Amino acid sequence: MGNPGLHDARRRPSASVGGRRAAFVAPAAACLGIAVLGAFLPEDLAPSWLIAGASAGGAIAALALWRRGDASSASHAAPAPSASTENDDPSRAQLELLRRAIEIRCEERTALLEGLADAVLLVDSHGETLYANRTAIALLGAENCVPGTRAAVAALPPQVGRAVSAVVGAGGVERRRFECELRDGESTPVAVHVAGVGAVRDGRAAVILRDVRAEREADRMKSQFVSTVSHELRTPLSALRGSAEMLADGEIENPAEQRDLARIILEETTRLEHLVTTMLDINRIEAGMTRAELAETDLAEIATRCVAEQQPEALRRRIALSVARAEQGTTAAADPTLMKQVMLNLISNALKYTPDGGTVAVEIATDNLARTVVVSVRDNGIGIPAAALPHLFGKFYRVENNRHFAKGTGLGLNLCRKIVESLHGGQIGVDSQPGSGSRFWFAIPMEQAGRKAA
Ligand code: ADP
């Protein structure tokens, strides 16, 4: 929907001089209205084009009004001018040019207002709609945005109507900002900005509504994150406190028991350290502070080193840990340190969630079609239920049934995903069958984006 007043005025036939000038003045005033509205929009909604429009539109409208007064006084003194007199008047041609220029400007400004992602309403002192942009119509419904009716303001929560009355009453110098929920069945949260547009004869107000569902969701996720982190920190902290208190009180005299408590303190401190380090690593990647130093990296070689590092733990648990490499083409454009971090995470998970005596195999393969090197870590461990698979790479997610099997933070796989996908442009995934085992895999491009292998 455009501004009907604006379009009507432009379409009006200009059979007489007065009619033609009225047709000229109307868009000029409309342009002024839109420009003034722009001047009162909040900072982020009042781009320079709107402010510039305020001065240009105002100047042109003033000139038009002045010319109109001039013409009407002339028409009182003299008989109506003939068509030939009109054509002979050079200032009339100029006015025609100006009228056209104003029309074009108005169309541009209207198009821009129509393109805004925020809902914009211009209402008069009675709360009647003068203008509603496309987003306002989508948000409130076309039936509520009919010009000349109060339906739009009535459809909004009552505080909007009160804010309109207040800013109009204050002569256009006041602004109100608040958040409320629409009465649309979904209670869509919106940030409302009401600004008086007092420069125009009768008081008017601009009502701007911004859908803040995404912001609310982000806030909710932040709170959830803080509460999860607090919970994750509290568990090792209480174990630490308990053990430290017993040692400090001198309650435990048996040296073996003392050593046990010291071991708990060491384990929990390591867990805390791991938790905080992983959180910081994820945070740095999300904040764009970690960059992968991409170089030609042999992923098979890194896998062999990781397997060697994890071999003592595998031996302790009697798990057969091996690496099988492709004959060739195991080189990818990757950061060796980060690749090692991902592989160690996946191998240590495989060991953690595989019963003693099981098997864990690391395989390196190439996908020549996709031009990627694929690393898989297979185990014949406890597996993962299908319902858990979509959540596995999320933050702090731990499979409920597997919790008792090993301690963890639920952050390792999230970090792996960030390293593989965000820093290397690769892919990570999992196939698993509860009771049969899992295959975690990731694929890294052989060449850096935009660079082809020789
Ligand atoms: P955690 O520190 O809990 O291991 P991760 O993010 O590495 O955190 O893993 C998330 C969850 O995924 C784990 O808690 C576990 O339930 C499950 N998981 C990860 N790897 C395996 C695996 N190889 N076999 C079975 N479950 C796994």
DSSP string covering 343-385: HHHHHHHHHHTS-TT-EEEEEEEEETTTTEEEEEEEE-SS---
Distance 229 CA to ligand 1 centre (A): 18
Check residue 171 and give its pLDDT: 79
Check residue 387 and give its pLDDT: 94
CA distance 50 to 312: 70
**CB distance 349 to ligand 1 below 6 Å:** yes
365: tokens are: 């393969």
Length of the chain equals 454
Check residue 401 and give its pLDDT: 82
| DSSP-H helix ranges across 156-298 | 158-169, 213-249, 255-286
Alpha-carbon dihedral 114, 117, 118, 124, rounded to 10 degrees: 0
User: What stretches of 68-224 adopt beta strand conformation (E)?
Assistant: 119-124, 129-132, 175-181, 189-196, 204-211
CA distance 56 to 73: 26
**CB distance 437 to ligand 1 below 6 Å:** no
**CB distance 274 to ligand 1 below 6 Å:** no
CA distance 142 to 399: 48
Check residue 70 and give its pLDDT: 44
Atom of ligand 1 nearest to the CA of 402: 16
Contact call for residues 32 and 200 (beta carbons, < 8 A): yes
Cβ neighbours around 425 below 10 Å, total: 15
**CB distance 331 to ligand 1 below 6 Å:** no
Based on DSSP, count helices (H) and strands (E) in the chain, helices before strands.
Answer: 14, 12
Atom of ligand 1 nearest to the CA of 411: 6
Distance 21 CA to ligand 1 centre (A): 76
Contact call for residues 186 and 165 (beta carbons, < 8 A): no
Distance 410 CA to ligand 1 centre (A): 7
Regions of the chain short of the pLDDT cut 70: 1-88, 198-201, 450-454
Atom of ligand 1 nearest to the CA of 382: 25
**CB distance 438 to ligand 1 below 6 Å:** yes
Backbone angles phi, psi at 365, to 5 degrees: -135, 170
DSSP, res 2 = -
147: tokens are: 């010009």
Alpha-carbon dihedral 445, 447, 449, 452, rounded to 10 degrees: -140
Helix (H) or strand (E) holding 432: strand 427-433
Residue of the CA atom closest to atom 4 of ligand 1: 408
Is the model's pTM score more than 0.75?
A: no
